[in-house]
């Protein structure tokens, strides 16, 4: 497949996009969606089913899946350079490879079903998914990837279908939807929307990799569909009358969104400071002493160092917080390798919990990067088998949906991971992705997502959502901004 793509002649996509739009304008208006203000127009919708019938039975939602029923579907995607094949061939190739990928991961082509005993299962019934082809003849990569500027959310939101759909709706709607958008300069965005009660970030990117591998003619890795993450739980969530939950935050609250790039050198510098490799004053000997003598805390990681810098800076930028207010840093942790015995790294479903670290505003103001990083390090290091089992037991004793949001204005929620294979493994056959972007799903004050840097050199991109006044203050913070740079591929 990859060889076939590489030998096809380069095609200028702009005339093709214009021709499609012209033809559609001459036909019935019902042929396409009403063009949104963004200029991104859906020109075709196909319902795609797996190319082979599923032999997978019902998959019961676990203690980690069920709380996500009140969350929006995950929306993530990748920009790619212009492919060396006609647009019609591109769409056909992606659609056919998607059908084969769904046969490998049949759960994503199913639906949620509530059983008479109130258990909720993924019924792998090959009901299928929606595959949308969209065009944006007046937009280019430069409109989306603007250095030193906010993410143009009025544009990016239309790169994804099922905008702000709540995961409980998987009872009635597809568990995944896909949109391929071709820009006027020929660049392509591939967006996936996936039910958050069915997948976490690890499973989401495993499927993205599976689709890409099949598209370029390679055999994909097989996933583990065993329900062995607290699979013996009998706890259920009940929704009388089939009325599902709503998200637990204000979706209309004003936000600014920006992707901050931290080079590998900048992260190394923060890590060196956090681990006291550059000298400096120890202002809390007790904490540092415990860290030095605990084998689990021998070194603060690069990511913990970066998160500490963000925690300090965002707290400074939240001018309205009282000195005695408690700030909270929530970090998503992958439980697969932390359980004893561990479950498979390719376990399909949610296997995540949240490691919580707290400190008052005045404590963060008094202390330095190393102190904040040490607090985060201790929380993550303590999140092993025992902590996971205690959290699962607490949820089973009082089941409920996960309370996303920031009701007191002092929380940071770090999701996604710079270790996810967003660039590695996602070549569909015509080149490495250029950038990751997400939709409007699950975004609120303090919501952040970590992405690996495109260069694969240890750099990290952090997508940050904050109220306008907090973002403005953060951008004026020289102590924070000294570590921020522009990735070389956007210069």
Higher pLDDT pick, 200 / 231 = 200
The mean per-residue pLDDT over the stretch 100-122 comes to 97
Q: How does residue 295 score in pLDDT terms, banded at 50, 70 and 90? A: very low
> pLDDT value at position 285?
35
Terminus-to-terminus CA distance in the chain, angstroms?
32
* Helix (H/G/I), strand (E/B), else coil: 42: strand
> pLDDT value at position 491?
64
Q: How does residue 409 score in pLDDT terms, banded at 50, 70 and 90? A: very high
Q: How does residue 34 score in pLDDT terms, banded at 50, 70 and 90? A: low
The mean per-residue pLDDT over the stretch 291-302 comes to 62
The mean per-residue pLDDT over the stretch 209-213 comes to 98
This prediction's pTM: 0.90
The mean per-residue pLDDT over the stretch 314-329 comes to 98
Q: Are 65 and 349 in contact (CB under 8 A)?
A: yes
Q: How far apart are CA 193 and CA 479, in angstroms?
A: 36
Q: How does residue 455 score in pLDDT terms, banded at 50, 70 and 90? A: very high
Q: How does residue 305 score in pLDDT terms, banded at 50, 70 and 90? A: very high
The mean per-residue pLDDT over the stretch 434-460 comes to 97
> pLDDT value at position 380?
97
* DSSP β-ladder status, 188-194 and 256-262: unpaired
pLDDT at 460 over 90: yes
Q: How far apart are CA 329 and CA 34, in angstroms?
A: 41
> pLDDT value at position 37?
84
The mean per-residue pLDDT over the stretch 396-407 comes to 95
Q: Are 343 and 64 in contact (CB under 8 A)?
A: no
* Contacts (Cβ under 8 Å, ≥6 apart) of 81: 186, 187, 188, 430, 431, 434
Q: Name the token pair of 76.
A: 């993530």
* DSSP β-ladder status, 411-416 and 447-452: parallel
Percent of the chain with pLDDT over 70: 88
* DSSP β-ladder status, 256-262 and 120-123: unpaired
Q: Burial of 486 by CB count in 10 Å (0-12 exposed, 13-18 middle, 19+ buried)?
A: exposed
> pLDDT value at position 188?
98
Q: How far apart are CA 213 and CA 211, in angstroms?
A: 6
pLDDT digits (tens, 9 = 90+) for 35-71: 578 899 999 999 999 999 999 999 999 999 999 999 9
- CA–CA distances in Å: residue 12 to residues 16, 180, 242, 260, 461: 7, 17, 50, 32, 31
Gyration radius of the chain's alpha carbons: 23
The per-residue DSSP string of 243-273 comes to: -----SS-TTS--EEEEEEE-HHHHHHHHHH
Q: Are 155 and 36 in contact (CB under 8 A)?
A: no
Q: How far apart are CA 388 and CA 339, in angstroms?
A: 7
pLDDT at 435 over 80: yes
Q: How far apart are CA 312 and CA 302, in angstroms?
A: 16
The mean per-residue pLDDT over the stretch 354-366 comes to 98
CA atoms within 13 A on the CB side of 422: 29
Q: Name the token pair of 393.
A: 């037991």
The mean per-residue pLDDT over the stretch 401-417 comes to 96
* DSSP β-ladder status, 129-136 and 120-123: unpaired
385 phi, psi to nearest 5 deg: -55, -45
pLDDT at 389 over 50: yes
Q: How does residue 13 score in pLDDT terms, banded at 50, 70 and 90? A: very low
> pLDDT value at position 488?
73
Q: Name the token pair of 20.
A: 């499609």
Domains of the chain: 41-216 (3.30.559.10), 256-485 (3.30.559.10)
Stretch among 243-252, 291-300, 467-476 having the lowest mean pLDDT: 291-300
pLDDT at 108 over 80: yes
């Amino acid at each position: 497949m990859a060889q076939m793509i590489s030998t096809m002649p380069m095609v200028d996509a702009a005339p093709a996009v214009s021709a499609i739009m012209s033809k559609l304008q001459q036909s019935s208006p019902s042929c396409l969606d009403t063009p949104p203000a963004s200029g991104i127009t859906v020109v075709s919708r196909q319902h795609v089913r797996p190319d082979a019938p599923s032999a997978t039975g019902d998959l019961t939602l676990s203690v980690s899946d069920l709380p996500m029923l009140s969350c929006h579907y995950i929306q993530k995607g990748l920009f790619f350079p212009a492919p060396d094949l006609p647009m019609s061939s591109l769409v056909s190739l992606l659609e056919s490879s998607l059908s084969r990928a769904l046969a490998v991961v049949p759960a994503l082509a199913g639906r949620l079903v509530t059983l008479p005993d109130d258990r909720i299962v993924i019924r792998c019934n090959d009901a299928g998914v929606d595959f949308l082809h969209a065009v944006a003849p007046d937009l280019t990569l430069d409109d989306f990837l603007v250095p030193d500027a906010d993410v143009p959310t009025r544009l990016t939101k239309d790169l994804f279908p099922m905008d702000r759909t709540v995961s409980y709706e998987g009872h009635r709607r597809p568990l995944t939807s896909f949109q391929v958008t071709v820009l006027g300069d020929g660049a392509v965005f591939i967006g996936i929307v996936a039910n958050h009660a069915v997948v976490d970030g690890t499973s989401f990117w495993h499927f993205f990799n599976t689709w890409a591998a099949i598209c370029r003619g390679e055999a994909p890795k097989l996933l583990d569909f065993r329900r062995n993450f607290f699979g013996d739980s009998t706890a259920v969530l009940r929704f009388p009358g089939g009325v599902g939950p709503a998200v637990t935050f204000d979706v209309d609250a004003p936000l600014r969104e920006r992707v901050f790039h931290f080079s590998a050198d900048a992260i190394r510098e923060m890590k060196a400071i956090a681990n006291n490799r550059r000298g400096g004053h120890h202002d809390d000997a007790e904490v540092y002493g415990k860290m030095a003598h605990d084998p689990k805390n021998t070194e603060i990681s690069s990511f913990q160092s970066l998160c500490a810098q963000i925690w300090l800076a965002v707290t400074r930028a939240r001018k309205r917080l009282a000195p005695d207010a408690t700030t909270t840093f929530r970090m998503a942790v992958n439980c697969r390798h932390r359980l004893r015995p561990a479950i498979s790294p390719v376990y399909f479903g949610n296997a995540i919990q949240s490691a919580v670290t707290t400190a008052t505003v005045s404590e963060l103001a008094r202390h330095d990067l190393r102190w904040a990083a040490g607090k985060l390090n201790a929380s993550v290091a303590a999140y092993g088998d025992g902590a996971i089992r205690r959290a699962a037991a607490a949820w089973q004793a009082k089941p409920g949906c996960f309370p996303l949001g920031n009701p007191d204005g002092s929380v940071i929620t770090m999701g996604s991971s710079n270790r996810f294979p967003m660039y590695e493994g996602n070549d569909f056959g015509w080149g490495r992705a250029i950038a990751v972007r997400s939709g409007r799903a699950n975004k609120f004050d303090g919501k952040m997502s970590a992405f690996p840097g495109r260069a694969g050199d240890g750099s990290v991109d952090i997508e940050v959502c904050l109220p306008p006044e907090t973002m403005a203050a953060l951008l004026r913070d020289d102590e924070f901004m000294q570590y921020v740079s522009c990735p070389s591929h956007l210069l």
